[in-house]
Amino acid sequence: MEIISGGVCAAKGFTASGVHCGIRKNRTKRDLSLIFSEKRAVAAAVYTTNLVKGAPLTVTKQHLKDGFAQAVICNSGNANTCNANGIEIAEKMSDCLGSALGIPADDVVVASTGVIGQPLDIEPIKSGIPELVKSLSADGSEQAAEGIMTTDTKVKEIAVSFNIGGKECKIGGIAKGSGMIHPNMATMLVFITTDCAISRKMLSRALSSDIKNTFNMVSVDGDTSTNDMVTVLANGMAENPEITTDGEDFKTFMQALNTVTVHLCRMIAGDGEGATKLIECRVTGAKDEDTAKTVAKAVICSSLTKAAMFGADANWGRVLCAIGYSGADVDVNKTAVSFKSAKGEIAVCENGAGIPFSEEKAKEILLENEIEILVDFGSGDGSATAWGCDLTYDYVKINGDYRT
């Protein structure tokens, strides 16, 4: 398995594009993106758990009832959520794109991201689709990734090659996500493409299983968005033996998918609004996986811990505090905590109590832009990892006037 370039265009038969159509006032920012498969693809998706859902999710769910899709269209700058005519707009996006590509509108995945509760005019999108289709390219992944960004500061894309039945397969993805990110799907949008031949049943199973330990373990600010969606398209053009059951081939596919999703999780968490640091909490020695997950999420969601990481303050008591209110059944008296980064690792707590450590060394470790918080309960084999970021002054600045 190897990380390669190409993003969502790495897999055979996929092209992508991104243009500025006029939804966003800043003409230098792309606001409309397209991913297209040469062949109709098997498709699977998971959606936000928020009861308030963007209209595009409702339309996409309907389109994916048969388990197939051939294109993804996504706009930024407007979430198309809580709009009286939201469904109509999302359906028109599908209709216009379907006509331009010569495919059924039902084979279009629709997504939107941006401000909630603002009317979305179909005209800029309708006018931009011809250029969007004309711009489709095997090198278009980065442009598509730019077109789905809102407060993101970095393009998020990754691709991996792997082997199934003697055939080289590829899987790649792009993502957007910076704020309103919280476990149970997060203004996270993720689009994944692969040329691996895999059945609808197994693709859906792979995605549903993977997100439990990846996208559902990311938190930036504790807010779960209305428009979160992760979609995978598999067009089978690698011509490998189709994966229809459990076995080594399915395990290999799962590893490739997980490589892509973990990479995107880390990029989303590290690019949290106003963030300066990626925080990874790794829990080991828990009595079971669920306990480890509960603790890991509590730690990366703790505002006090996040603020301490921003200040490079080795305030391990805040980690213990988060563990204590997490609701997890753990023996605090067996708990050990360490901080780790490229500058080294330092133990700060053993058996639930503080131990002598160098504040200077701890500061040096925590000044890095990627920090690991290691928690060990010494009580079992349960483990889990969660990703978050520090809490900075800029987070409030960005969200204080996000709409205006």
DSSP letters along 72-138, please? Answer: EEEEEEE---S-TTHHHHHHHHHHHHHHHHTS-GGGEEEEEEEETT----HHHHHHHHHHHHHT-BT
pTM for the whole structure: 0.86
* 331-376 pLDDT, tens digit each: 999 999 999 999 999 999 999 999 999 999 999 999 999 999 999 9
Instruction: Enter the tokens of residue 25.
Output: 């006032």
pLDDT of 115 reads: 83
Q: Sketch out the chain's domains with CATH numbers.
A: 2-270 (3.60.70.12), 278-400 (3.10.20.340)
Quote the Cα angle for 67-225-308, to 5°: 130
Helix 289-301 to helix 316-325 angle (10° resolution) is 130
What stretches in the chain show pLDDT beneath 50?
Answer: 180, 185-187
The single residue listed with the structure tokens 């370039």 is 5
How many CB atoms are located within 10 Å of the residue 99 CB? 12
- How far is the C-alpha of 58 from the C-alpha of 24, rounded, in Å? 24
How many C-beta neighbours within 10 Å does residue 342 have? 10
What are the residue numbers of the active site?
A: 187
pLDDT for 353 = 96
H/E run at residue 361:
helix 359-366
Contacts of 200 (CB under 8 A, 6+ apart): 42, 43, 44, 67, 68
CB distance 22 to 31 below 8 Å: yes
**Gyration radius from the chain CA atoms:** 22
**CB within 8 Å of 165: residues ≥ 6 apart:** 240, 241, 249
Cross-strand pairs, 168: 163
Residue with tokens 């039945």: 165
Q: What's the confidence (pLDDT) of residue 27?
A: 81
Q: At 48, is the secondary structure helix, strand, or coil?
A: coil
**Angle, in degrees to the nearest 10, between helices 303-310 and 316-325:** 160
What confidence score (pLDDT) does residue 186 get? 42
Amino acid at 164: I
Q: How far is CA 107 from the centre of its chain?
A: 23
Q: What is the pLDDT of residue 39?
A: 98
